[in-house]
């Protein structure tokens, strides 16, 4: 997660929410497209990836009935509360006795206030760092270029919109062990549900990044 | 659970659902057991969308609770722009009640278990 003022401010907002509501155990802020903006750093990437995948699956179906505003899971040992705040989602886990109405009031004051303050004091337009966790898949085929990875069309479109550019031609890939490399990118042919969450990487690039099929990598656009 | 009390529980659930369904703001419900499904929705055109959302809420809700280690799910409340959904498992059955946003879902949840 990059340390820019936007991320720092959102992380501070999450810390403040925890201070005000001690029942909060973990918290994250992410976009609807699954880009993590801020959150607990001690949570494993695999956990975050699963969390985002589950959330996206629900949000996708909820689009058909007018979109998802909040999601509350009441479980035996705790609760998960996900709430839309501006154009982001805030996910919080709490103890089982947490007062969700109180939490709702707090989150809907703190996060929008901080975002508004940031907009007022930051000279350049705010752009969330769109780092996306994706699962590695093999890219094979006679006519496939060996210097180009493939990502779901929806993700590329979302990045173009966020960065206000016509198209995304290059991405930076970070493996779990921290190896970073840049390469060209194009949309997966016939992008569909099955390709969402995948990055198809040619063998040569896999070797350079020391990644294998099924592993998680963080991908962000190079604008 | 003994077979007799299980049957009783399902019968009670059916009676309670019929009662809840008549209340103002209740859009309908989808009840799925391993062998059958019962759907009662005021807008039949939305059956597929509601069924998919209901299944996703229950399945992904369980995955989220496993991932975040918060134990067995009691119920899930999902609020969209237009509707609110209460989803839960009762025995082997999976139930989703669809309602308008101003309906008190906690009361609905309580009344589902009434005997």
User: Residue A26 domain-assigned?
Assistant: yes
Out of A32-36, A102-106, A212-216, pick the least confident: A32-36
Q: Which of A115-124, B4-13, B24-33, B43-52 has the highest mean pLDDT?
A: B24-33
Per CB-CB distance under 8 Å, the chain B contacts of A57 are 56, 60
Higher pLDDT, A77 or A157: A77
Same domain, A108 and A25: yes
DSSP 8-state class, residue A169 = -
Edge-first strand order for the sheet with B83-90 is A36-39, A24-31, A88-94, A79-85, A68-75, B73-80, B83-90, B93-100, B26-32, B37-41
φ, ψ for residue A77, nearest 5 deg: -110, 5
A100 plus A149 within the same structural domain? no
Tell which B residues from 63 to 102 touch A, by Cβ distance under 8 Å: 63-65, 67-83
Contacting residues for A173 by C-beta, under 8 A, at least 6 apart: A149, A180, A181, A182, A183, A199, A201, A205, A209, A217, A218, A219
* CB half-sphere exposure, A21, CA atoms < 13 A: 25
Same domain, A104 and A61: yes
Number of independent structural domains in chain B: 1
Q: Looking at residue A24, which CATH number applies to its domain?
A: 3.30.450.30
pLDDT value, residue B96 = 95
Is the same domain home to A13 and A64? yes
Nearest residue, CB atoms, A54 vs list B53, B60, B69: B60
Q: Count Cβ–Cβ pairs < 8 Å, chain A vs chain B.
A: 101
Quote the pLDDT of residue A124: 55
Give the CATH number, domain containing residue B52. 3.30.450.30
Residue tagged 């840049």 (tokens): A182
Q: Which residues pair with B79 in a beta bridge?
A: A70, B84
Rounded-to-10 torsion of CA A181, A186, A192, A196: 20
The mean pLDDT value for B19-45 works out to 89
Among A89, A121, A153, which residue terminates a domain? A121
Range of the domain at B93: 3-112
* Shortest distance, CA A145 to any CA of chain B (angstroms): 36
Q: In this predicted structure, what is the pLDDT of residue B2? A: 56
d(CA A217, CA A211): 8
How much is the pLDDT for A1? 43
pLDDT reading at A206 higher than 60? yes
Establish if A127 belongs to a structural domain.
Answer: no
Expressed as residue numbers, the domain containing A112 is: 5-121
Q: Kindly state the percentage of chain A with pLDDT values over 70.
A: 90
- Based on the fold, state whether residues A14 and A112 are members of the same structural domain: yes
CATH of residue A153's domain is 2.40.40.20
- Beta strands A180-187 and A148-151 are parallel
Does A93 lie in the same domain as A162? no
Domain count, chain A: 2
pLDDT in tens, A165-184: 788 889 999 988 888 889 99
pLDDT (average), residues B55-83: 92
- A-chain CB neighbours of B56 within 8 Å are 57-58, 60-61
Q: Are A135 and A215 contacting, i.e. CB atoms less than 8 angstroms apart?
A: yes
The candidate with the shortest Cα–Cα distance to B93, out of B34, B40, B48, is B34
Mean pLDDT score of chain A:
83
pLDDT at A185: 93
Among B80, B85, B88, B101, pick the best mutation site for testing chain A contact (most A Cβ within 10 A): B80
Residues A110 and A139 in one domain: no
Q: What is the mean pLDDT of residues B69-87?
A: 92
Task: Find the residue in A nearest to B85 (Cα).
Answer: A71
* pTM of the predicted structure, to 2 decimals: 0.69
Contact at CB, B82 and A57, closer than 8 angstroms: no
- Tell me: pLDDT of A62 over 50: yes
Report pLDDT for B95: 93
Residue A2: predicted pLDDT = 45
Give the end of a domain, one of A121, A144, A173: A121
Looking at the structure, tell me whether residues A60 and A110 fall in a common domain.
yes
A48 found inside a domain: yes
């Amino acid at each position: 997660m990059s340390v820019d003022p936007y991320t720092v401010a959102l992380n501070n907002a999450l810390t403040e929410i925890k201070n005000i509501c001690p029942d909060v155990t973990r918290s994250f802020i992410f976009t609807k497209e699954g880009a993590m903006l801020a959150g607990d750093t001690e949570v494993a990437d695999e956990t975050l990836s699963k969390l985002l995948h589950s959330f996206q699956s629900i949000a996708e179906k909820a689009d058909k009935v007018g979109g998802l505003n909040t999601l509350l899971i009441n479980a035996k040992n705790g609760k998960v509360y996900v709430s839309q705040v501006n154009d982001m989602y805030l996910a919080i886990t709490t103890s089982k006795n947490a007062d969700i109405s109180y939490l709702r009031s707090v989150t809907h004051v703190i996060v929008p206030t901080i975002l508004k303050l940031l907009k007022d004091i930051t000279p350049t337009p705010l752009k969330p760092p769109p780092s996306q966790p994706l699962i590695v898949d093999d890219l094979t085929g006679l006519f496939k270029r060996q210097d180009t990875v493939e990502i779901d069309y929806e993700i590329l479109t979302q990045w173009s919109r966020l960065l206000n550019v016509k198209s995304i031609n290059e991405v930076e890939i970070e493996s779990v062990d921290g190896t970073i490399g840049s390469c060209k990118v194009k949309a997966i042919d016939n992008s569909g549900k099955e390709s969402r969450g995948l990055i198809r990487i040619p063998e040569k690039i896999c070797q350079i990044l020391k990644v294998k099929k099924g592993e998680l990598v963080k991908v962000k656009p190079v604008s | 659970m003994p077979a007799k009390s299980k049957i009783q529980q399902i019968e009670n659930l059916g009676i309670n659902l019929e009662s809840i369904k008549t209340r103002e703001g209740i859009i309908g419900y989808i009840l799925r057991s391993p062998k059958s499904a019962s759907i009662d929705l005021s807008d039949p055109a939305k059956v597929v969308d509601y069924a998919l959302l209901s299944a996703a809420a229950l399945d992904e809700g369980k995955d989220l609770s496993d991932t975040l280690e918060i134990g067995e799910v009691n119920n899930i409340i999902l609020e969209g722009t237009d509707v609110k959904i209460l989803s839960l498992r009762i025995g082997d059955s999976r139930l989703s009640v669809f309602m308008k946003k101003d309906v008190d879902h906690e009361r609905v949840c309580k009344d589902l278990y009434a005997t």
